[in-house]
Amino acid sequence: MNTGSLSPPFITPPPPPSRVNLFSEIERLKKERHAIILAHNYQLAEIQEVADYVGDSLGLSIEAAKTNAEVIAFCGVHFMGETAKIINPSKTVIIPDLEAGCSLADSCSAADLEAYLNKHRDKNYYVVSYINCSAAVKALSDVICTSGNAVKIVSHVPKDRNILFVPDQNLGAWVIEQTGRTMELWKGNCHVHIEFTRDSIERARKDHPDASIVAHPECSYAVRLLAHEVCSTEKMISYCKNSPSKAFVIVTEEGMLHRLRREIPDKTFIPGPTAHCACAECHFMKKNTLEKLYRALRDLKPEILLPEELRAAAEVPLRRMLEWSK
Ligand code: 13P
Ligand code: SF4
């Protein structure tokens, strides 16, 4: 007896469509499911190509809030899918890979934040949370912000309140510089953006003396000091379009270069080097592939599901952010 061979009912699943067919299959499933594909600027080029909207966390939240689609296929990391679900409880929100996490979001757990707030009740903190956090952290927050609106949001917070800013200390420090507002900062950071160092960016400046340096605010103070512009990924597009410079060193995750090169073909974009590599890559963002997106649309899973009480509590500070961003 050949114990190694499979006979029915062990049916081998059909092979996935070829790469070319994946594009048309995704288009077909999108129509069949009444789905919209939202993708972050750090996604693989091929995912950006099939998406209905590609943008930063702010743009993606706004798109998620206004879509009429029945299914949202969110190509980004887990907290981004959660954000779409928080705003759209009746819609099906799927993501290609449930394991696409975020080291920054992980640097502030809801349990640690709750314990900190309980220990410092006397401060009556106004909690401003960067959108890179879990739904449970959002539920403990007063307002959410993104890198695209953090300055505006913090400027809106009542002047008589102590602000606790979580979880990114680099973004928080940049907001303090921009607003002059005092804030206490949670000591979290993004493992991708702290890979850029003063030395690596000084090297890039020497190698490309005519290029403008454009950095994300999740970078360290030393790196931000060397940049000509510090902004969210979406603002990088308009900054590079409108700048008289012809070349730019882009100090953020390398996926950003795809959109820049596509939308501004007459300029040169160089990935910012890190201490050890020619560019920085977020392996969480890169967990999503075209094939996983195809399977997610086909099977309507993995799906983002949230307990209703938690979702409703997280919606309050998110809606406040959308209101204050207008
Ligand atoms: P943006 O909102 O600027 O795209 O940033 C999201 C992010 O995860 C940066 O690491
Ligand atoms: Fe999170 Fe950093 Fe990846 Fe952005 S780049 S998703 S902050 S781990």
Contact 249, 179 (CB under 8 A): no
Which ligand gives the minimal distance to the CA of 231? 1
Predicted confidence band of residue 68 (pLDDT cuts 50, 70, 90):
very high
147 Cβ inside 6 Å of ligand 1:
yes
Query: Residue 3 domain-assigned?
Result: no
102 Cβ inside 6 Å of ligand 2:
yes
97-151 pLDDT tens trace: 999 999 999 999 999 999 999 999 999 999 999 999 999 999 999 999 999 999 9
Expressed in angstroms and rounded, the spacing between residue 11 Cα and the centre of ligand 1 is 42
Closest of 322, 324, 312, 237 to residue 62, by C-alpha: 322
253 Cβ inside 6 Å of ligand 2:
yes
Query: Residue 199 domain-assigned?
Result: yes
Query: Residue 245 domain-assigned?
Result: yes
196 Cβ inside 6 Å of ligand 2:
no
Domain shared by 85 and 108, yes or no:
no
Q: Is the pLDDT of residue 19 over 90?
A: no
Structural domain that includes position 240: 193-281
> Between these two residues, 320 and 8, which has the higher pLDDT value?
320
Query: Residue 2 domain-assigned?
Result: no
Here the CATH number for the domain that contains residue 69 is 3.40.50.10800
Q: Is the pLDDT of residue 3 over 90?
A: no
Domain shared by 28 and 163, yes or no:
no
149 Cβ inside 6 Å of ligand 1:
no
Predicted confidence band of residue 18 (pLDDT cuts 50, 70, 90):
confident
Contact 28, 37 (CB under 8 A): no
Q: Which atom of ligand 1 is nearest to the CA of 132?
A: 8
Predicted confidence band of residue 7 (pLDDT cuts 50, 70, 90):
very low
Domain shared by 296 and 249, yes or no:
no
Domain shared by 40 and 174, yes or no:
no
Q: Which atom of ligand 1 is nearest to the CA of 217?
A: 3
Closest of 69, 64, 67, 61 to residue 30, by C-alpha: 69
Q: Which atom of ligand 1 is nearest to the CA of 216?
A: 3
Cα-based distances in Å from 241 to 72, 169, 244, 262, 266 = 30, 29, 8, 12, 10
Cα-based distances in Å from 115 to 131, 168, 185 = 20, 18, 15
67 Cβ inside 6 Å of ligand 1:
no
Domain count for the chain, please give it: 3
204-259 pLDDT tens trace: 999 999 999 999 999 999 999 999 999 999 999 999 999 999 999 999 999 999 99
What pLDDT sits at residue 326?
87
The identity of residue 316, as a single letter, is V
Q: Which atom of ligand 2 is nearest to the CA of 218?
A: 7
Query: Residue 12 domain-assigned?
Result: no
Expressed in angstroms and rounded, the spacing between residue 57 Cα and the centre of ligand 1 is 6
Long-range contacts, stretch 234-241, CB < 8 angstroms, 24+ apart: 234/41, 234/55, 234/56, 234/58, 234/59, 234/148, 235/56, 235/148, 236/260, 237/263, 237/264, 239/214, 240/212, 240/214, 240/264, 240/267, 240/269
Contact 183, 155 (CB under 8 A): no
Predicted model pTM? 0.93
